[in-house]
Amino acid sequence: MSRKVPFLDLRITDERERNDLLAAVETVFQHGRLVMGPEVEQLEKKVAEFCRRRFAVGVNSGTDALFLALKALRYGRGDEIITTSLSWIATANAIALTGATPVFADIRDDLNIDPASIARLITSRTRAILPVHYTGKICEMPEIMRLARQHNLSVIEDAAQAFGARLDDNAAGSFGQIACFSMNPMKVFAACGEAGMVVTDEPDLYERLQALRYNGTVNREVCIESCLNGRIDTLQAAILLRRLDRVEAVIARRWEIASWYDSLLEGIVQTPHPSPRQEDVYYTYTIQADRRDELKAYLESCGVETKIQHPILMPQQPAYEKGVRGEFANAQRLVKRILCIPAHEKLRREDIEYVANCIHAFYQDQK
Ligand SMILES: *Cc1c(COP(=O)(O)O)cnc(C)c1O
């Protein structure tokens, strides 16, 4: 009995949600402030509150959020910023585009940056640590913050995948000097297009971020520093405002799905091993599997769509591999084993059981 289990389903099928979002769009059509309309500030206030930060600045994408955060902190040529080896390439690109050098640390078995590796990579040129809360699970932040204090470094969180996640009851985005979110349609808290957000507690950074997101201008005319246009659309802000009310329910549903997988897949593949300190939002449910590529092909033949996020480590990308500095032995091992299986909130219990049964069948058939 075969079925199709898509990795994602971005259609808006829930009638109530659809009407809600259409009403939000209609409001923007009515007031006509398509750029920097009132919804932008409303959203910024709510997101800041949600993350327990003083300020939030809406931007055009998670990539912009990272780039503008690093610009706001004035990093550039000669500075080294330590980040992880396993992330979406936007993380390294944002560092490199400021002129600074990304240095790539290894990861632990939970796929997040290894604080011990960070410690080994710190030099006199190191200015900041940029941890990524990968798959929606928060990094070992107490240890990372301790390292940063000890070496007088800033911490910028790439929380693109982790909106709503918690560690020891602290929200993603509440640890670093600045934190960055993506609200692109694949993310757990998603717009209907590109969007991102930067949060901080510092008024001077808040001011700089506001200038930098609009060509480095103050009062829209006086340019204090060259930059590009990275403002969030009013329409996306309006949609996100409505979706913010639902985000806890979406996360709860993802938890439920993850817990089903946890028990159905135990002993068959490595599951994301949740710790009691973690409230993971499961941006992806990433398993670690023997014969990963064969498993992926087999699942494909069963109608189960999977993804490898991400198949090429950042330090091994053609854009970065030459003269790269870092250490990534464990990442190289794990990147051959990771597989993201469908875990979005629209899936039903039968879908999850079907996917788990296919995985069981693969390892049984091919013993
Ligand atoms: C999605 C993502 C980004 C980039 O966000 P966009 O909104 O797509 O530009 C950056 N870092 C990580 C870890 C991401 O997952």
Amino acid, res. 365: D
Mutational pocket test of ligand 1: of 182, 281, 313, the residue with most ligand atoms within 8 Å of the beta carbon: 182
The two tokens of residue 143 are: 């240890």
Tell me which residue has its CA closest to atom 5 in ligand 1.
62
Chain segment 259-269, per-residue pLDDT in tens: 999 999 999 99
The band of 162, judged by pLDDT with boundaries at 50, 70 and 90, is very high
Among 8, 60, 63, name the best residue to mutate to test ligand 1's pocket (greatest count of ligand atoms within 8 A of Cβ). 63
Whether 5 and 203 have beta carbons less than 8 Å apart is answered as: no
Q: Closest residue (by CA) to atom 14 of ligand 1?
A: 160
Contact indicator for 62, 180 with CB cutoff of 8 Å = yes
Greater model confidence, 366 or 147 = 147
CA 172 to centroid of ligand 1, rounded, Å: 15
DSSP codes joined into one string, 26-73: HHHHHH---BS-HHHHHHHHHHHHHTT-SEEEEES-HHHHHHHHHHHT
Judge if pTM exceeds 0.95. Answer: yes
- Looking from the CA of residue 161, the nearest atom of ligand 1 is 15
Given a cut of 60, is residue 345 above it in pLDDT? yes
| pLDDT for residue 367 is more than 70 | no
To test ligand 1's pocket by mutation, which of 157, 184, 189 has the most ligand atoms within 8 angstroms of CB? 184
* Residue 31 clears pLDDT 60, i.e. is over it: yes
Distance CA 248, CA 254 (A): 10
Stretch 299-312: mean pLDDT, rounded? 98
pLDDT for residue 193: 98
Residue 15 Cα to ligand 1 midpoint, Å, equals 29
Residue 51 Cα to ligand 1 middle (Å) = 18
Who lines ligand 1 at CB under 6 A?
61-63, 87-88, 90-91, 132, 158, 160-161, 182, 184, 194, 196
Spacing, Cα 4 to ligand 1 middle (Å):
27
On average, the pLDDT of the chain sits at 97
Place of tokens 């089903």: 260
Cα 300 to ligand 1 centroid, rounded to whole Å: 26
Give the pLDDT confidence score for residue 1 in this predicted structure.
Answer: 59
Mean pLDDT value across residues 66-73: 98
Q: Would you say residue 186 has pLDDT above 80? A: yes
Q: What is the pLDDT of residue 274?
A: 77
How far out from the chain centre does Cα 123 lie?
A: 27
Residue 273 has a pLDDT of 73
Distance, CA of 249 to chain centre: 19
Confidence category of residue 366, pLDDT binned at 50, 70, 90: low
Structure confidence by residue, pLDDT tens digits, 201-254 = 999 999 999 999 999 999 989 999 999 999 999 999 999 999 999 999 999 999
CA of 90 relative to ligand 1 center, distance in Å: 6
> What is the pLDDT, as a whole number, of residue 275?
87
Residue 61 alpha carbon, nearest atom of ligand 1? 7
